[in-house]
Structure 1
């Protein structure tokens, strides 16, 4: 491990101008970082700062060591953040988690993550193909079509959010199709959304073997369920730390802190990258097992698998002359619901929801209220979901 760390630091220092400047600002040279413990000498590179860094030096903020013409793909995540895929194969390393969840070469898998701009669809497509599974690139939405595909093609595996699988199974029940006969589904892997105990029990009652994982568009796989203990097992393909979000100090106990990841990708070396997610170690399993995502360091709130941020909403609404608003996230029938209350004494544009969706990738419900009704709410983005 120490040799890999030193090689990564040395390469990044020589080929990434942004990383070299980061080292110089910290009075560091490559020889100063040779072990996992030495990484803490570097300040955390915060995800929330990536949009600014990238806009100052498009497209990757000077972090990449190869030009865009040598990338396999480039994605655009909310922020906006440009995420490069620097090579083919299982670039995001999720095959490790899917293999543990029982996916294999004889599976036909319905991938319900988006293939459009967001990398989620390709993340699981590439991992499943590495395992030899047949992939149906179903993408998001289209309930009736998706459940028809599930029946006609004898789908055995599902990857996506738990709430959308619940929607598909509801549709199957409406048609009189039962899991185990018309619907062959036997396994599912979830991420990007809170997986409730209620839904876990429902899927288990259907005879579906369910697992969940944790990763990001920037970092790929971070941790995953293996049913060998509490929480999620940390991947062996990256360095994962829990750090004080303010000081960057590595936490060596079960305290809550920010998930900080270092990847061994020389072409896009994310080193001491702060994901913005809060987590902690399972008691007695420091460095081995995470409790899962406990919240966010910044103002980002995950809605239907996408991070929505207050500054995104404010930028759009202020441009439209509607600065007074409050966005409220709730959960209805296992689905996230985003409602934005906007103060206005006049009719607001009919397309305001579409303008917001273009930025946050989630369709909001718009409600107009009279000026003063929000009473100057200081918190513009509120998460009122209750998880059971």
Structure 2
């Protein structure tokens, strides 16, 4: 259905598996030798014996909470990176948590070119990049992949909608990268002002859910949009293709699905947490738990790519939630409770009326003092980088179930 990025995408599954397993011992040995966190957690492990998925499954899973704790004790990377400040680390990012990620000065460090190619991006295109260029690595991820394909990039970043519309009208890019919700906003604002965006024909979207209704609405405006599944720690994990049949796993990763809260693989077809092992020499993550739930689809994609396919995002293995491209963690809500003693219990409820993500922090407090609502609102926005509404509840109203984040979003 489309031309492929390279021959790796169409090789026999057994050939791919053998190649990945042949590379695995060296990656584990590198992590043990050059990343102190793995020197500790994998102490006594003979890397030469880890040559199968069964052997890999005996190693511990590293989850985001552990990564954050390690980074707090041993900044900046918690002993998981093999580089420090200097020419081998071109940039460092701080994702919400904060969790720090290194970026090495190499072509397509985040392996984004393959996913963009599957989305129809080609050499000579101008790409409008509306991902953030500060703190988090999303802007750099997409820019480096586009450059690797031979594209020119307009670094729009987030916000400033009117200025972005001016740039779209003047520069007439053929492609867009960013969240799907912001692309919808740009198109709606353009229509309201009578501005045409007919130059846009391709889009690669990430950072939030991409419902089929929005995909069809974009297609009706002549924009062929594809989803990319990526994280700030790992770069690309999987990507959509023209087959529209799940997300194809990237060629440079080993992906497992495990029972949430454990490292035990689930049977084929069952929902489990996505756990990834990469071959990045700068940031060698071995069995890194993403916290995302998915399942493996049977067989190969009709597009001819033969790698494992994921069904897409099916929820979170923990209470953390992704809202408008940013993760919100239970620890951030707990920090609000610690900071404001007047609040006895709180729960962040996330929903999406009219298809737009909304956050409401429900707080139990006897008699909220003057200015408390504004202070809590500001503290939550400072912590999460997102807007949220605060609503007061009578003490004893919220369930006593330990849940700090409740995700009520529905996608069609």
Task: Please classify the TM superposition score into its range, dividing by the shorter chain length.
Answer: over 0.9
Match 2:330 to one of 302, 310, 315: 310
Give the drift of 1:290.
0.5
Query: What is the alpha-carbon distance in structure 2 between the residues aligned to residue 13 and residue 318 of structure 1?
Result: 38
Match 1:225 to one of 240, 261, 265: 240
1:118 aligned partner = 136
1:11 aligned partner = 30
Does the alignment pair 1:198 with 2:198? no
Query: What is the alpha-carbon distance in structure 1 between the residues aligned to residue 409 and residue 188 of structure 2?
Result: 22
Does the alignment pair 1:29 with 2:50? no
**How does the TM-score come out when normalised to structure 1?**
0.93
Does the alignment pair 1:147 with 2:168? no
Q: How do 1:66-77 and structure 2 match up within 5 A?
A: 66-69=83-86, 70-77=88-95
Structure 2 segments unaligned to the other structure (5+ residues)? 1-18, 301-305
Query: What is the alpha-carbon distance in structure 2 between the residues aligned to residue 369 and residue 164 of structure 1?
Result: 32
User: Structure 1 residues 252, 284: closer, same or farther in 2, change over 3 A?
Assistant: farther
Structure 1 segments unaligned to the other structure (5+ residues)? none
User: Structure 1 residues 343, 250: closer, same or farther in 2, change over 3 A?
Assistant: closer
Verify the 8 A CA contact 1:342 1:366 in the aligned structure 2: yes
1:92 aligned partner = 110
Query: What is the alpha-carbon distance in structure 2 between the residues aligned to residue 245 and residue 368 of structure 1?
Result: 33
Does the alignment pair 1:49 with 2:66? yes
2:151 aligned partner = 133
* Count of paired positions: 383
CA deviation string 1:314-358 (max 9, x = no partner): 113321223422211111333211111223312215243232222
**Secondary structure at 1:325 match in 2:** strand
User: Structure 1 residues 28, 378: closer, same or farther in 2, change over 3 A?
Assistant: closer
**Secondary structure at 1:135 match in 2:** strand
Query: What is the alpha-carbon distance in structure 2 between the residues aligned to residue 247 and residue 369 of structure 1?
Result: 36
CA RMSD of aligned residues (A): 1.9
Query: What is the alpha-carbon distance in structure 2 between the residues aligned to residue 122 and residue 255 of structure 1?
Result: 34
CA deviation string 1:229-275 (max 9, x = no partner): 62011110111111223441233511111111111112221011111
Query: What is the alpha-carbon distance in structure 1 between the residues aligned to residue 106 and residue 376 of structure 2?
Result: 38
Verify the 8 A CA contact 1:326 1:377 in the aligned structure 2: no
Query: What is the alpha-carbon distance in structure 1 between the residues aligned to residue 244 and residue 123 of structure 2?
Result: 27
Query: What is the alpha-carbon distance in structure 2 between the residues aligned to residue 378 and residue 245 of structure 1?
Result: 18
Verify the 8 A CA contact 2:373 2:390 in the aligned structure 1: no
CA deviation string 1:56-90 (max 9, x = no partner): 21111111222233311111111221111133321
Q: Which moved more, 1:188-197 or 1:243-252?
A: 243-252
1:295 aligned partner = 315
**Secondary structure at 1:199 match in 2:** helix
**Secondary structure at 1:68 match in 2:** coil
Match 1:156 to one of 171, 174, 177: 174
Moved over 6 A (4+): none
Give the drift of 1:188.
0.7
Verify the 8 A CA contact 2:118 2:242 in the aligned structure 1: no
**How does the TM-score come out when normalised to structure 2?**
0.88
Does the alignment pair 1:283 with 2:298? yes
1:357 aligned partner = 381
**Secondary structure at 1:386 match in 2:** coil
Query: What is the alpha-carbon distance in structure 2 between the residues aligned to residue 376 and residue 23 of structure 1?
Result: 39
Query: What is the alpha-carbon distance in structure 2 between the residues aligned to residue 55 and residue 126 of structure 1?
Result: 29
Verify the 8 A CA contact 1:241 1:287 in the aligned structure 2: no
Give the drift of 1:376.
4.9
2:406 aligned partner = 382
Verify the 8 A CA contact 1:111 1:138 in the aligned structure 2: yes
